[in-house]
Structure 1
């Protein structure tokens, strides 16, 4: 059915027509909200609120822009409203329970509300031709480093950079979407780019000159899996780059450098008595490992967390750890059976 016919039916109150109209855009809109908010839960909330707003205001859609652009306008402004209302998870550092941690080397720039984004959800994205102003590739713009850097920007700059450099909208289109002037859009974009580029360079997450070799990456993930399951600390450390970075939202701690990482893995991850099973997956375009720790009473393996790994020059450049609560979003169970 033609879009105009669906719009007419939806405007007359046909919920099925409205669902058909927006369904093709819902996954990319969720990714958009995730980039701006940094939290998958917040992104889901923002998307639902945006779709409710679109349903209520469909009669005002004069088709002066495409339906996709109109939906992006609503979703972007819904995200900005959420940020202004400060409807966020706690922003303070959260201690890790029952752990005696080695001294961190610094404070992590990953915000406490940061969530991983399952790659399986990216598989649902409908290919859209990028706009003429696109600066970042889709996979690059979903990376943890990029999403973390976005969270450092003021909300309006964040929205402008995503709309211009990720989605490729022209300055005039962005100005209309944000009810702003072209001059203010140009100014916000200039400041946002400077902050993003500086942060990525300082964090060692410069834009890649080549994509990781898939075979080498898979081999590295296999070696990491084996090292964790055998509790082989020297083998694990041998996979790390010299300036590796470890972080674990919502605890705003960072361990930078191979010595600090070795101390952390020895004291926490591979401390005596721990036995793991590992399930590979992917998050934010990176390899990820779901970890399960053996229950000494039942022998079953209980969900422990998710490690998102970035690779550079065939070494592990960073590891970002998340709690077990994120695993269901990856279609992963909370427990695995023990050995027979």
Structure 2
């Protein structure tokens, strides 16, 4: 699979008169090499050429992990006292490189590294390979889907742990810690993003910050979490009533649930992405909460927790079999609280499959 992906980039380079692609994004590196790491300030990058074999550049201390990940091509390793660009320059000088352009991830390349690339190839111009890479990652293989299913099950489990942990006297951070502890006991070393446990007024902030706030009866508690499993991400949101809630809070919850369920019915190959956002938005607006739904209906999901497609109302692209993404309408009312319901969705030959399956019916924890 990795060879096919690399060959696709090589073919693209030929068509674009590309001398080589310089790839350093964490998700793209994993997608093309099988190696996933957090490089910090050190250079970890992939060079893909039209005809020559690709090379992976990494610190010497990462070389064994690169091989364990399945990389079988050349590695340029370096120690902290060495300048990796000197080693790259010496190696590239031995190659017979065709093409003129350097393909880069435009949104990720720093000025410092752009200058290093220009020193390496002074006559070359930059072109962007990000769109090509994102489109490659758009349709998932059977192997990728199997991993995403398992990642979704672990996200379900995380919410289950959180719900069982709700108790007067505990803080949001208490519950968050219990969720991540139990997931680590399942072998999860990395979360897709910072886990959210938000209660009461805090839940009215779509991306609020969990705190030492104590849980109180009569409030919503919003869980938003996901795991990274074998390089692939999950992402789930559930909102729970901690104690008896008001009629308005129940109305908000039921509106969000209706918006999500009706939008899911449209999830099939050929549906225009913007129609999904407009469907959910129309239901929430008709209920009087349109101004309290400030974000798109969803986003793509894969080696990154946010990737293509973007499910906003202006997107005219169509759903395709093998796409994975989230459907996550929400209503966030200051002082009252917020509700979001989010599932990971796969487009299939028969329509769609919800990978996340934790119950969406309103749960009131007494």
Higher-Rg member (1/2): 2
Greater helix content: 1
Q: Which has the higher strand share?
A: 2
| TM-score, normalising length: structure 2 | 0.25
TM-score (norm 1): 0.27
